[in-house]
Structure 1
């Protein structure tokens, strides 16, 4: 069977059929589809070449759709893009980064669970889990790339490569950051990221994330993780788990999730690029994702809920600063404007506080001597008429924290 039908009339295409369709795709046919937009023959050739390379030689053991209908394919760990070829299998993950003493929970906060569970089935009856030794890769189509313009634009963090400047830099045209920032030498760190689902449409996006990066170096280098509401990329207005990196200020390097030969995923329970399935309620229960980065053994390891998910090899950063450590911690929000500035966080200003404004709490970093330290953040809010941030510290479970966000609007530059 190559396609299964859901009650709403949609089809599920198996991996073999999908890759065969890529191999036989013709520009003349694609150009007649609404998804083609202004895609040139040259761009189409680059798309099919990129996707052919991304999926070449992969043996998929299982495929399924998430709650939003995005398709994921279970591939052997050694067959993912960053390891394909002669790369050795991943090293054993180090223990999570050390954390300062104290209780790191919240009475009214609910932790995000990994998206994949053996007991879950998708709308087609497929198990929403990957067998041992495999990880889930989100399936990418020519139509998704065409919506961004080209393969190069597809890999950029911002639509069509616009506004590429480092996090914490002055606002650049079509994007804004509102965060808590500390410049300090570090090997990574930790925070609890409060999850919301603000209303975002089209190609605009809103993000809450951690950045560990360089301090005003040229070029900027970062590793990033958090959630993103980005309908133009993921086809959903729900919050999506994402990672990103760049070694040259978002110019020629960087990509989301597993979309290039960079991140090595080792954990089969999390869906990079998959919906998180939960969001906080105004005045009610708060949903959190515990996120940590840790540079150990020559790799930037990512931990979610204290469990290793995978790593960026520090060699990606060449002779740059992030090959040996970061110089800046950033926790907070980012938005991208298309036809109006979207909400950030919950859509409430920072002064709304607990259960109303978005936050990162228990913000820590790992000093270069490998000891945990509580951060000392500084609020960064270049457009306070649209987005604000408020930094403070308190008793357990807050420690160092930042509230941030705002409604956006028509004039936030």
Structure 2
């Protein structure tokens, strides 16, 4: 006698075959044919893909897009003014030890089947959860209320579902560039579907409907993405040197050497593209064709840390133990806490300057923290953030 097992009338084996078929189809869509492939010692495979066959052109708005290799306008830059000994120019990714990509290609990290198998869904793969934002509300009343001289003031903001953040904000209507040196760490996360990150973001639009472009480092429960992990449909990649989502060779150590990357995001006034540069390497751009509210200017710039988990925010009996930043509290300062420094914006004045006023928000101050600190009156401000949840953070072990 044969034993037949039914699960709600669904043929389980057939469903499994369907899932694997869908995964293979997704992999084929994500991983374009390579002219050359490089196997990295960290297990990554970097594909050198024809620049005109990269995933960006799967976006329907970019079918007839002409690639721009360099921005039309180069805005002013600065030499690091930080007094601490750290390394803002480290740009070595692990895969570069094993080879390089030829001209006419871009370096793209290959997505593996096991990554898709671990994803909550194929549709969700490459995304860090739903977002809403207070920052796109730029009415005069809002700005007046939330840009007090007391930079440590906490204030009410619209919720970001399943996100906990500690950010420094500049609010206005005319940002065309942003800068920051972001301290690199390899923090702990609790499970494969959690993410912790440090980034610069620019936003514009409305609470119900807004756009955001972000760059920084990200770590999830499956792999370290020490540079950036945009996963942004339509981002046009132009670099032979940087593979988005690949690891850096060096990260900071607690009470040890500190490493950081310099990020620049600039608006091109001729094409309306937003360009990303990392340590003077032009990585690529968000093209104007895929933008609406950010086509010309941003209304907010944010610098800081973000934890994405199903177990954040009040109301959960359990809170994630995922670290933000290094996992150390902001008050621990240099060598312990995650930081961003050389913080700059560019507005209609076309001048590179520290945002004034600037204020920070910590979404869950019982769990994570933030602090603006200057060693002395002449020192560069550091924005410190981070921490790891403990018993004070609505936290009970499973």
Q: What TM-score, normalized by structure 1, do the two folds share? A: 0.75
- Partner residue in 1 for 2:239: 267
Counterparts of 1:53-64 in structure 2 under 5 Å? 53-55=29-31, 58-64=32-38
Q: Judge conservation of contact 2:327–2:337 (CA < 8 Å) in 1.
A: yes
d(CA) in 2 for partners of 1:65 and 1:95? 36
d(CA) in 2 for partners of 1:95 and 1:397? 31
d(CA) in 1 for partners of 2:93 and 2:14? 36
The structure 2 residue matched to 1:52, chosen from 2, 19, 28, is 28
- Partner residue in 2 for 1:362: 342
Secondary structure of 1:154's partner? coil
| Structure 2 unaligned spans of 5+ | 1-11, 136-156, 312-319
Counterparts of 1:238-387 in structure 2 under 5 Å? 238-244=224-230, 256=231, 260=233, 262-296=234-268, 297-318=271-292, 321-338=293-310, 340-376=320-356, 377-387=358-368
Q: Judge conservation of contact 1:374–1:400 (CA < 8 Å) in 2.
A: no
Q: Judge conservation of contact 2:196–2:308 (CA < 8 Å) in 1.
A: yes
The structure 2 residue matched to 1:31, chosen from 1, 8, 16, is 16
Q: Judge conservation of contact 1:105–1:397 (CA < 8 Å) in 2.
A: no
d(CA) in 1 for partners of 2:13 and 2:307? 36
Are 2:131 and 1:164 aligned?
yes
Shift of 1:141: 3.6
d(CA) in 1 for partners of 2:200 and 2:110? 25
- 1:238-269 deviation line (CA, Å, top 9, x unaligned): 4522243xxxxxxxxxxx16xx4x11111111
- 1:383-409 deviation line (CA, Å, top 9, x unaligned): 112111112456799534311111124
Secondary structure of 1:144's partner? helix
d(CA) in 2 for partners of 1:167 and 1:224? 16
Are 2:43 and 1:69 aligned?
yes
Shift of 1:87: 3.1
Are 2:395 and 1:407 aligned?
no
Are 2:163 and 1:175 aligned?
yes
- 1:101-142 deviation line (CA, Å, top 9, x unaligned): 664455510132232686x22xxxxx2x21112111121244
Shift of 1:209: 0.6
d(CA) in 1 for partners of 2:94 and 2:368? 34
Q: What TM-score, normalized by structure 2, do the two folds share? A: 0.77
Shift of 1:156: 2.6
| Structure 1 unaligned spans of 5+ | 1-26, 33-40, 122-126, 245-255
- Partner residue in 2 for 1:199: 188
Q: Judge conservation of contact 1:204–1:336 (CA < 8 Å) in 2.
A: yes
Shift of 1:212: 0.8
Structure 1 residues 186 and 382, CA, compared in 2 at 3 Å: closer, same or farther? Answer: same
The structure 2 residue matched to 1:97, chosen from 55, 72, 75, is 75
Q: Which range moves more in the overlay, 102-111 or 281-290?
A: 102-111
- 1:130-186 deviation line (CA, Å, top 9, x unaligned): 11121111212444223223332114322xxxx432376544453201111110220
d(CA) in 2 for partners of 1:397 and 1:76? 48
- 1:176-211 deviation line (CA, Å, top 9, x unaligned): 011111102201210000111112232222111111
d(CA) in 1 for partners of 2:336 and 2:194? 23
Q: Which has the larger radius of gyration?
A: 2
d(CA) in 1 for partners of 2:303 and 2:86? 18
d(CA) in 1 for partners of 2:82 and 2:72? 23
Q: Judge conservation of contact 1:263–1:311 (CA < 8 Å) in 2.
A: yes
